[in-house]
Amino acid sequence: MTMILIIAEDDFDQQAIYKECIAEIDPYIQIRFAVNGYDLLGTLASCEFEGCMPDMVLLDLNMPYMDGRTVLAKLKDDQRFCKLKVVIFTESEYPIDRYFGQMFKTPYYVKGKSKNECIEVFKSIINSLAQGYN
């Protein structure tokens, strides 16, 4: 079965890097990107309608229009999406952001700064999914 990830990332250069890193780990993983919180919620609604919900959402906290904090609160409050596996995937290392993740019992990953660091972070995220993160 093919794994499907949705990555909320507004930087198109970062999207290209993430796509490349994940392809190195497993070329069969399908990736969809959302560029902001509204786009992510719309993408999830489309996935629900199409019957192809993602295995996991990687949520950036700092996005335009609707940030990841607002999105996470909405997902946890929505019956359709509250059981969805979500990880926070951000550049922020602020303690308040980590605390926010803990409040919602959501794993927190800091984005890698180099390609090799990104690959290691993605391996960790994918392994957590394979090991039954819930």
- Provide CATH code, domain 4-130: 3.40.50.2300
Q: Judge whether residue 10 has pLDDT over 80.
A: yes
Q: Which two tokens stand for residue 9?
A: 């990332």
Per-residue pLDDT band at 94 (split at 50, 70, 90)? confident
Residue showing tokens 């990736």 = 31
More confident residue, 131 or 66: 66
Residues 6+ apart with CB under 8 A from 103: none
pLDDT of residue 1: 59
Q: Is 111 helix (H, G, I), strand (E, B) or coil?
A: coil
Tell me the DSSP string of 106-128: --EEEPPSSHHHHHHHHHHHHHH
pTM: 0.89
